[in-house]
Structure 1
Amino acid sequence: MEIQQGYPDFHALPTYGAVHGIAVMGLVHRAMADFLPNFQGHNHVHGENFLELKKAYPIPNGREEIKLETTAKVVDIVDRRSGVLVFVDIETVEEGTIDVLCVNQWGGFVMKVPTAGANTTPIQRGPRTTLYPTLTRAPDKITAHKTSPEQAALYRAASGYLNPLHIDPETAKAAGFPAPILTGTCPLGMGVRHVVDAFAGGDGRRFKSVKCRLSKPIYGALGQVVRTEMWREEGGRRILYRQVVRNGEREKIVIGMAAVDLWEEGGAVKP
């Protein structure tokens, strides 16, 4: 069945909450030269992400409009030998209220900057910094998605995070990549959708949070196929997952140490 925007249950995917984080990170990205020596914009890539919805969806489902306000704060800078990992807390509220709709934590890896003064290990901050081990048994579910060059451009345009690394081949080469890379939130959205489809019957209202590490780039321009491997933890409402791409005979993990937490069935806040 084709669902039009006027359909009563039309809604954004639950990872739309990450868009607010991407948008404000455009401002943080432009300010990084103020506190990171030798900062070059094309050397900043998405390294980790945490997203939690305080309500089932961070925006209404099209039947009304609200204004949102998103703020960002740098909370940690960690030594990664060849650069630093910058953690940014991001909070989105309904404008004029303290009604929190969603929170993000963005971990941005900035290559080729001095690491003097950075922390040697991340400050532990609960679910925002927790990374999950991949289980050794066979996955409970596997889903695949073929990427395309348009995906990076669409995510870039929707969020306002206009880093040319995601669309310009020359910028990608300057950063050491053979082609433009997908924004990290693009495979993040793929993974969450695969989990929700596989373990929540496609009901996005059951999505509560996601945490993942973006380990390797994905090249949408090359049409890479991303495979999401998923494991249900005992208890049923936490799904561990990783995402893998194949290059010839070799495979590489592009998103790992990841988990999606679901609300219990029927327990989500309704949009």
Structure 2
Amino acid sequence: MTIDYDKLINWKFDDIEQTYTSKDTILYALGVGLSMDPLDMDQLRFTYEEDLLALPTMAVVLAYPGFFLKQPEFGVDWVKVLHGEQGIEIHKPLPAEGTVVGTTKITEIIDKGEGKGALMYSTREVREKSSGDLLATLTSTTFCRGDGGFGGPKVEAPKPHELPDRAPDSVVELPTLKQAALIYRLSGDFNPLHADPRVATAAGFKAPILHGLGTLGVAGHAIVKQACGYDPAKLKSLRLRFSSPVYPGETIQTEMWHDEDVTSFRCRVKERDIVVLNNGYARIG
């Protein structure tokens, strides 16, 4: 099986239209761990319908085209595909409910060489249907571990954001529920790896793992809390690299470095002292 570079780079995605309600917005917030303390009024703003606010990271689940790399005509060994990096640029605060349209395109595919895999870069624009306003631009790097050596471009991959060489300025510790993945998947990612212990074991994990974008949501919560004072409109952009999976029920520590309008960050699991998100960059405005 070999990547069909021309077909993949020129693929025309259908626009995805999605209508979501306040219930979906609340479900997303619960899925990334808000309101474990139901008396916390700051978090209740995201989990209670009165004057409801949407978390900016919810953009990642809006108007998603699905796992298109599974289509055989692309020639991708989809079983070995990993989500490598994710970026979010927020152009306008997400409404708590509405109808959005997502437009996806593949921007680049880098051939790392035989046995070294390939990197696929894609972009998704999410617009409000009624106004046409651009709400968010999502960038994603997909690591196709089994697909190097297909004859594509061998350009240098962009370097990740470098974290400051000093102790973190602040650390926010947030627990995750043991059923976190079962809640998060209701926002649209139904991969059985996150629900079925048999599938997780076959994939080499001791139990179902939390969605990478679910872990991103926990980090986003920590940043909105610490750097934005729970004002979601202040988070303008966020990007990070996925480095290790999280098991639901583990505690995520988000280490942050604050430099003017930039907050650098990484996340580690407290129980195993392992970094799970790295090279994090958030712009606060």
- TM-score by length of structure 1 reads 0.79
Partner of 2:163: 134
Give the 3 Å change call, closer, same or farther, for CA 208–202 of structure 1 in structure 2.
same
Among 35, 46, 58, the alignment partner of 2:74 is 35
> Offset of 1:114 from its aligned partner?
4.2
Partner of 1:50: 87
> Partners in 2 of 1:134 and 1:88 — Cα distance?
24
Alignment pair present for 1:245 and 2:279 = no
Amino acid at match of 1:153: L
Q: After superposition, what is the alpha-carbon deviation per residue over 1:110-157, rounded to whole angstroms, capped at 9, x for unaligned?
A: 333344234434565xxxxx6211222111100112223322122221
Would you say how many aligned residue pairs link Structure 1 and Structure 2? Answer: 240
Q: For 1:251-266, what aligned pairs fall within 5 Å after superposition?
A: 251-263=273-285
> Partners in 2 of 1:213 and 1:246 — Cα distance?
18
Amino acid at match of 2:209: I
Q: After superposition, what is the alpha-carbon deviation per residue over 1:88-110, rounded to whole angstroms, capped at 9, x for unaligned?
A: 11111122764211110122223
> Partners in 1 of 2:75 and 2:184 — Cα distance?
26
> Partners in 1 of 2:192 and 2:277 — Cα distance?
22
Is the Cα contact below 8 Å between 1:53 and 1:209 reproduced in 2?
A: yes
Alignment pair present for 1:161 and 2:189 = yes
Among 205, 208, 215, the alignment partner of 2:243 is 215
Among 93, 101, 113, the alignment partner of 1:69 is 101
Is the Cα contact below 8 Å between 2:266 and 2:277 reproduced in 1?
A: yes
Give the 3 Å change call, closer, same or farther, for CA 169–122 of structure 1 in structure 2.
farther
> Partners in 2 of 1:44 and 1:215 — Cα distance?
14
> Offset of 1:214 from its aligned partner?
0.4
Gaps of 5+ in 2: 1-40
Amino acid at match of 2:82: V
Give the 3 Å change call, closer, same or farther, for CA 6–98 of structure 1 in structure 2.
closer
> Offset of 1:177 from its aligned partner?
2.6
Partner of 1:224: 250
**Secondary structure of 2:179 counterpart:** helix
Percent sequence identity over aligned pairs: 29
Give the 3 Å change call, closer, same or farther, for CA 152–37 of structure 1 in structure 2.
same
Give the 3 Å change call, closer, same or farther, for CA 122–50 of structure 1 in structure 2.
farther
Among 50, 64, 67, the alignment partner of 1:7 is 50
Amino acid at match of 2:75: L
**Secondary structure of 1:194 counterpart:** helix
> Partners in 2 of 1:11 and 1:201 — Cα distance?
14
**Secondary structure of 1:93 counterpart:** strand
Is the Cα contact below 8 Å between 1:131 and 1:211 reproduced in 2?
A: no
**Secondary structure of 1:67 counterpart:** strand
**Secondary structure of 2:78 counterpart:** coil
> Offset of 1:213 from its aligned partner?
0.3
Is the Cα contact below 8 Å between 2:174 and 2:222 reproduced in 1?
A: no
Give the 3 Å change call, closer, same or farther, for CA 52–242 of structure 1 in structure 2.
same
Which is further off, 167-176 or 189-198?
A: 167-176
Q: After superposition, what is the alpha-carbon deviation per residue over 1:32-65, rounded to whole angstroms, capped at 9, x for unaligned?
A: x32134433xx3332100001110x22x235xxx
Gaps of 5+ in 1: 125-129, 264-271
Q: After superposition, what is the alpha-carbon deviation per residue over 1:160-185, rounded to whole angstroms, capped at 9, x for unaligned?
A: 22222222223223333332221111
**Secondary structure of 2:185 counterpart:** helix
> Partners in 1 of 2:68 and 2:226 — Cα distance?
35
Give the 3 Å change call, closer, same or farther, for CA 52–262 of structure 1 in structure 2.
same
Give the 3 Å change call, closer, same or farther, for CA 177–83 of structure 1 in structure 2.
farther
Partner of 2:33: none
